[in-house]
Amino acid sequence: MNNINYRYRLADPELGSSELGLLSQCISEGMISSQGRFVQQFETEFSAACGARYGVAVANGTCALHLALEALGIGPGDEVIVPSLTFIATANTVTHAGATPVFADVDPDTLCISPDTIEPLMSPRTKAVIPVHLLGQPCDMPEICRFAKQRHLHVIEDAAEAHGAEVHGRRVGSFGEINCFSFYANKIITTGEGGMCTTDDAVLADRMRLLRGHGMDPDRRYWHGVIGYNYRMTNLQAAVGVAQLPCLDAWIEKRRWVSSRYRELLASLSNLLYFLEEPPGTRSACWMSALMLKDPICREQLLDYLCGQGIETRPLFWPVHQMPPYKNGSTVFLPVTEDLSRRGVMLPSHTKLSDEDLKIICNSLAAAFSETAGLRHSQANS
């Protein structure tokens, strides 16, 4: 399916002369690996945009999560509470660190975990919680941080999908002890691959810088006091990030407009689908616009129909606790996660979409419902 030449893609990154100009500087200066001025510039400017003091650029968002866990000393014997409704990397990094992911259900109105879904999972081994700002909708971070502080838990924000999202006017990436971002090609800001950890703790920032570069002592070259990783971001990647960052606010506004237009254009189909509402005090980055099907039984036929019209869509994430690496005979039941996962459909959501594009997509979606309804009727009568 990934090889299809879609007319309307889920994501289509904005890349232009600014990115090309800074990449040309890297090449002309011969600074194409992790040594180069753009890495530090991107760290400084991105962390400031989040309202955090320090940024540590890394190779991708998965590396960012793993680095955060390692820097906080989380490992074998520890448990980390994560949502099951997320990309699997959130859980995998906990496993990579030697700890055990414990899967939480989500709030049906936000797709996010909350103190109410975390509390029943607490044990003496619980050391951290990783709230995920799914699809750009931020979790209630003040409440989660208050809950975690009372119970001496570390908080690591997984903000991979939520660059620029806000809670009570404060941006994500500034709430947790360490906060993790991805700059994969489909994200709001991209560096192709790439990631970032933000923090207000200078000691943690230094620890992450040490670990990302093979554990090499910064004051004694080629002396390694700890076992580290090669998690460095290249100067080429950082240059693209520096070029992209000034556009962040404008791109969020465009994505929010796309989301609002979907709601308006599909209002006549309210008997078939619904959208999640933005909770008071939060401001979603609208990384992806997702609709929820009231009857999910023909979702795959719906997606196939849209694919045939040149419109790329995808289902919401599968519950991680049901996947082979984590199921292992488990009887974990997360009713909200399992229900929403069957209903969710992600729609094209990038900044290049015009109003005419959105009308075509929504008309095709209405036709898709008619097509699948006809299919179900014929099946029922056969």
Compute the chain's Rg from CA coordinates.
21
Site of tokens 């990631």:
195
Please state, as a whole number, how many other Cβ atoms lie within 10 Å of the Cβ of residue 55.
26
The alpha carbon dihedral of 372, 378, 318, 309 has a sign of negative
End-to-end Cα distance, the chain:
30
Q: Is 68 helix (H, G, I), strand (E, B) or coil?
A: helix
Ramachandran bin of 215, using left for φ above 0, alpha for ψ from -120 to 50, beta for the remaining angles? left
Structure tokens at 288: 């992806």
Backbone angles phi, psi at 291, to 5 degrees: -105, 155
Question: Is residue 249 a contact partner of residue 221, using CB atoms and an 8 Å limit?
Answer: no
| String of DSSP letters for 234-285 | PHHHHHHHHHHGGGHHHHHHHHHHHHHHHHHHTGGGTTTEE-PPPPTTEE--
Question: Is residue 47 a contact partner of residue 159, using CB atoms and an 8 Å limit?
Answer: no
Among 187, 254, 294, 359, the one annotated catalytic: 187
**Distance, CA of 66 to CA of 156 (rounded, Å):** 10
**Distance, CA of 260 to CA of 122 (rounded, Å):** 38
**Distance, CA of 191 to CA of 186 (rounded, Å):** 10
**Distance, CA of 339 to CA of 380 (rounded, Å):** 24
Active site residue 149: no
**Distance, CA of 63 to CA of 196 (rounded, Å):** 9
| String of DSSP letters for 121-180 | G--TTEEEE--B-GGGPPP-HHHHHHHHHHTT-EEEEE-TT-TT-EETTEETTSSSSEEE
Active-site residue list:
187
